[in-house]
């Protein structure tokens, strides 16, 4: 990821008291994440003619929200994982209470960061910034990622059906990918059909990403008993749907953005196509 992004993100969580809280936030933010969501947001904005400096606070906010979701997802009350990215999870390293608060701290810092960008804005840019903040807020919340996580927790393999699985994937994973492209587009001044097409491209990328994750988990026999695309539909259809969503994302991106742009190559590399 760009040095500019890493610097901007680090500056947002520098120092801070009580130290264990901020150490836990930094531990999970700087622990080898791929930065997919901020890269998608920054690439969409750049490819549609927007300004990187304007997009940076929103890219940071996306990574803060993603990181909070992983910290909470790993907790004993949720997935109860001991390791993430090959390192102890936040609660294993700092204890459960600090990990919960580190997630809460990151979520709120994301909104503080976006609100500041809206306040420190020219009148002309304020509309696009508010639009981006609204898109990200909706995608992260109860009608987005939080709702998808709730449905996932409630799911079990015996009761799962296609509609439930699609709901979980669209909300839990694809909503943030979709928001990254829609918010990046909004920051470049795109609205209406163009922004909707970019949101759809992000959704397709997210669905492909989650199906691939389910395929890998099925191969590793992880998540036994939970609703899983690969288990429900079988590996062959899962692979087919993975390809279909990836190709649709790339088709939309090729239509809306320059063919030699950053977003096109990022989507191609994410999809392995």
Residue with smaller CB distance to ligand GRG, 21 or 70: 70
What angle separates helix 3-12 from helix 52-74, to the nearest 10 degrees? Answer: 60
**Shortest distance, CB of residue 20 to ligand GRG, whole angstroms?**
21
DSSP state of 78: T
The binder of ligand GRG chosen from 43, 178, 210, 246 (CB under 6 A): 210
Helix/strand/coil (H, E, C) string of 23-55?
A: HHHHHHHCCCCCCHHHHHHHHHHHHCCCCHHHH
Q: Which residues pair with 88 in a beta bridge?
A: 83
Is residue 65 at the binding interface for ligand GRG, with CB under 6 A as the rule?
no
The binder of ligand GRG chosen from 7, 10, 11, 34 (CB under 6 A): 34
Is residue 271 at the binding interface for ligand GRG, with CB under 6 A as the rule?
no
**Shortest distance, CB of residue 177 to ligand GRG, whole angstroms?**
9
The binder of ligand GRG chosen from 72, 129, 195, 264 (CB under 6 A): 72
Beta carbons within 10 angstroms of residue 12's beta carbon: 20
Q: Which residue is nearest to ligand GRG (CB)?
A: 33
Is residue 43 at the binding interface for ligand GRG, with CB under 6 A as the rule?
no
Rounded to whole angstroms, the Cα distance separating 222 from 210 reads: 14
Contact (Cβ atoms closer than 8 angstroms) between residue 78 and residue 71: no
Is residue 213 at the binding interface for ligand GRG, with CB under 6 A as the rule?
yes
Q: Which helix (H) or strand (E) holds 209?
A: helix 192-219
Q: Write out the residues near ligand GRG by the rule CB under 6 A.
A: 33-34, 36, 69-70, 72-73, 85, 145-146, 149, 172-173, 210, 213
């Amino acid at each position: 990821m760009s040095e500019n992004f890493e610097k901007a993100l680090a500056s947002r969580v520098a120092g801070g008291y009580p130290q264990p809280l901020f150490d836990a936030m930094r531990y999970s933010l700087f622990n080898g994440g791929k930065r997919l969501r901020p890269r998608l947001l920054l690439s969409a904005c750049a490819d549609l003619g927007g300004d990187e400096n304007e997009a940076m606070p929103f890219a940071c906010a996306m990574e803060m929200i993603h990181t909070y979701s992983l910290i909470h997802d790993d907790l004993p009350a949720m997935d109860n994982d001991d390791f993430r990215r090959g390192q102890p999870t936040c609660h294993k390293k700092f204890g459960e209470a600090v990990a919960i608060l580190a997630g809460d701290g990151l979520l709120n810092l994301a909104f503080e960061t976006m609100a500041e960008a809206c306040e420190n804005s020219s009148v002309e840019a304020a509309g696009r910034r508010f639009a981006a903040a609204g898109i990200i807020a909706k995608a992260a919340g109860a009608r987005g990622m939080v709702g998808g996580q709730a449905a996932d927790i409630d799911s079990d393999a015996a009761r799962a059906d296609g509609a439930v699985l699609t709901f979980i994937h669209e909300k839990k994973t694809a909503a943030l990918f979709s928001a990254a492209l829609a918010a990046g587009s909004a920051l470049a001044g795109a609205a209406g059909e163009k922004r909707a097409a970019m949101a759809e491209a992000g959704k397709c990328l997210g669905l492909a990403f989650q199906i691939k994750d389910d395929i890998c988990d099925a191969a590793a026999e992880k998540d036994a008993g939970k609703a899983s695309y690969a288990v429900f539909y079988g590996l062959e259809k899962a692979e087919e749907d993975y390809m279909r969503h990836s190709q649709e994302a790339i088709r939309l991106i090729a239509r809306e953005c320059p063919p030699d742009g950053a977003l096109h190559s990022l989507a191609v590399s994410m999809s392995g196509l």
